[in-house]
Structure 1
Amino acid sequence: MTVEQQTTTRPLVVAHRGASAEEAEHTLRAYRKAFDHGADGVECDVRLTADHHLVCVHDRRVERTSNGSGAVSTLELARLEQLDWASWKSGPGESEQPESDPERGHLLTLRRLLDTLVDTGDEVLTLIETKHPTRHGDDVEKTLVQVLRFFDLDRGDRPGRPHVRVMSFSARALLRVHRLSPEIPLVHLISARGRTLPLDGELPKGIGTVGLDVAFLRRKPSVVEKYRRHGHQVFVWTVDDEADMDLCRDLGVDVVITNRPKTAIDRLGGTL
């Protein structure tokens, strides 16, 4: 079920960095767990390594989610692949049995994730967020478009293929993607903190979806209707509280992005 085909009242459920409340974020295990729960899609953040590979890592630095140190942008892929990306979230006894899932702690590259999604043959909603600021500047978007072209995912939504959306808080980054590949759908993220777009429901030319911080949605729920009147879709992140899930359903948002996909699906009405 795609966003465009959605006919039920329940929003689509997208797993934020995979089922990251249960498994180490941005690992294949987290994404597989999300699909086991029936998630409609997945979300990932991407950063460029020093040797220009896109990796699925949220933070600018690696300390929080690995056993290494340093900024992603200054480390080469080979070094990042030597790190353990899962032990920080190990459950009881798991750190003593790495052989049970040899991929569990491996760094996930965007290419590896897309390989996995393409192989399913499903129309998985796939949200890819580019992170800024970064020392690599517009090379992030240039490399992302190249990767999407390699997988033939840069020409809009098609049957039997992942349905990709590129997201960013930076309108400039999104417009770079639009210039490079105008058929890729874009999502402009808006945080409850810091600078935001004017709240009249309009988005920059070429951008069709807004991604609202759930904290912002709580304060200004009427904004959903403003974006809808301009023909835009509304995604909301990160929706982990059940009361927020109810709010998103009641407001008729298109997508909820959550660390708890199983809880969201159960709360919002099951699989589509």
Structure 2
Amino acid sequence: MTAAHRTSTARPVVVAHRGASADRPEHTLHAYEQALDDGAEGVECDVRLTADHHLVCVHDRRVDRTSNGTGRVSTLELARLEELDWASWKTPDGDAESPDADPERGRLLTLRRLLDTLCETRREVVTLIETKHPTRHGDDVEKTLVQVLRSFDLDDGDRPGRPHVRVMSFSSRALQRVHRLSPEVPLVHLVADRLPAKPIDGSLPAGVGTVGLDVRLVRRRPHVVQRFLDRGNDVFVWTVDDPEDVDLCLRLGVGAVITNRPAMAVDRVRATE
């Protein structure tokens, strides 16, 4: 059951944040495969456009933190990015699973390759795709994303045996672009825990049916979850890595917990069944 079809008594979906990123290098295929093996029902990824307009799964503007290269993703072409090692930064010295032993481990992951992998599972994996802004590519990010989703027939609502895609962003303008281009794609408006805190009445931008709340905000102001639920919206919470926060999300009735530790979250959720 996906978050979009939950009832009030359904347990939350466990979504792996950048894959099983507490244990594996984030945004690598191994991280996502590990997450699914751990029992995650959903995955989350960030996407950025390369200089030659390919969508790649990279969180930061720059490649420096998660690869052995340097520079901005938006100014580098795909071929250059694919030359980089995307795993060694999280691989302990002497690890038998090092990139030298398994070249696949350190390979850049494109959005197309991730969707290929998820489609091959023939499972209804909740697939959260976050577009990152600001960027020099502007609305080309959302235009390219919708083109990719259309090429996989993933832009016209949820279907049995296929990934169930939701597009996320902190930018309401980015979400509106997706809605205009592909109105059947469900949208998630991300809300961070920032001060000074703005009033939260549970409403969302037009066409958006889910809010993604920072777990720090939920800890401080748990009542805001009910405000969104009362208006008929679903609530996702990120990034839920502590067992106590999973318990909090269960008590509040959220639709999905997004976590770097899917195995832990799955065990915690199943313990309540």
Instruction: Note whether the superposition's TM-score is higher than 0.5.
Output: yes
Q: Which residue of 1 aligns with 2:252?
A: 251
Secondary structure of residue in 1 paired with 2:174 = helix
Secondary structure of residue in 2 paired with 1:26 = coil
Higher mean C-alpha deviation, range 100-109 or range 7-16: 7-16
Q: CA RMSD in A?
A: 1.8
- Please list, as runs of the form range in 1=range in 2, the aligned pairs for 1:128-139 lying within 5 A after superposition: 128-139=129-140
Which one-letter code corresponds to 2:187 in the other structure?
A: L
Q: Which residue of 2 aligns with 1:124?
A: 125
Which one-letter code corresponds to 1:250 in the other structure?
A: R
Q: Which residue of 1 aligns with 2:2?
A: 2
Instruction: State the 1:96 CA deviation.
Output: 7.5
Higher mean C-alpha deviation, range 128-137 or range 197-206: 197-206
Secondary structure of residue in 2 paired with 1:127 = strand
- Please list, as runs of the form range in 1=range in 2, the aligned pairs for 1:16-55 lying within 5 A after superposition: 16-55=17-56
d(CA) in 1 for partners of 2:97, 2:256? 38
Q: Which residue of 2 aligns with 1:74?
A: 75
1:94 and 2:95 matched: yes
d(CA) in 2 for partners of 1:84, 1:93? 16
d(CA) in 2 for partners of 1:96, 1:197? 46
Higher mean C-alpha deviation, range 135-144 or range 100-109: 100-109
1:261 to 1:205, Cα distance in 2 relative to 1, 3 A: same
Kept in 2, the 8 Å contact 1:190–1:196? The answer is no
Q: Which residue of 1 aligns with 2:224?
A: 223
Which one-letter code corresponds to 2:253 in the other structure?
A: G
What are the ranges of 5 or more consecutive residues in structure 2 without an aligned counterpart?
Answer: none
d(CA) in 2 for partners of 1:270, 1:40? 16
Which one-letter code corresponds to 2:2 in the other structure?
A: T
Kept in 2, the 8 Å contact 1:192–1:215? The answer is yes
d(CA) in 2 for partners of 1:26, 1:90? 14
d(CA) in 2 for partners of 1:210, 1:171? 11
Instruction: State the 1:195 CA deviation.
Output: 8.0
Alignment size in residue pairs: 272
Which one-letter code corresponds to 1:40 in the other structure?
A: E
Which one-letter code corresponds to 2:40 in the other structure?
A: A
Which one-letter code corresponds to 2:238 in the other structure?
A: W
Q: Which residue of 2 aligns with 1:266?
A: 267
d(CA) in 1 for partners of 2:103, 2:163? 26
Instruction: State the 1:210 CA deviation.
Output: 0.2
Secondary structure of residue in 1 paired with 2:104 = coil
Q: Which residue of 2 aligns with 1:205?
A: 206
1:146 and 2:147 matched: yes
d(CA) in 1 for partners of 2:96, 2:76? 25
Secondary structure of residue in 2 paired with 1:246 = helix
d(CA) in 2 for partners of 1:119, 1:198? 43
- Identity percentage over the alignment? 72
Secondary structure of residue in 2 paired with 1:189 = strand
d(CA) in 2 for partners of 1:89, 1:97? 10
Q: TM-score, with normalisation over the residues of structure 2?
A: 0.95
d(CA) in 2 for partners of 1:196, 1:46? 28
d(CA) in 2 for partners of 1:133, 1:92? 36
Q: Which residue of 2 aligns with 1:241?
A: 242
Which one-letter code corresponds to 2:141 in the other structure?
A: V
d(CA) in 2 for partners of 1:240, 1:48? 29
d(CA) in 1 for partners of 2:169, 2:44? 12
Secondary structure of residue in 2 paired with 1:94 = coil
1:186 to 1:194, Cα distance in 2 relative to 1, 3 A: farther
- 1:80-135: CA deviation from partner (whole Å, max 9, x where unpaired): 00000000000352278535432100000000000000111110000000000000
Kept in 2, the 8 Å contact 1:12–1:254? The answer is yes
d(CA) in 1 for partners of 2:223, 2:272? 27
Kept in 1, the 8 Å contact 2:13–2:256? The answer is yes
1:199 to 1:140, Cα distance in 2 relative to 1, 3 A: same
Higher mean C-alpha deviation, range 69-78 or range 195-204: 195-204
1:107 to 1:196, Cα distance in 2 relative to 1, 3 A: farther
1:196 to 1:208, Cα distance in 2 relative to 1, 3 A: farther
Higher mean C-alpha deviation, range 15-24 or range 1-10: 1-10
Q: Which residue of 2 aligns with 1:175?
A: 176
Which one-letter code corresponds to 1:2 in the other structure?
A: T
What are the ranges of 5 or more consecutive residues in structure 1 without an aligned counterpart?
Answer: none
Secondary structure of residue in 2 paired with 1:174 = helix
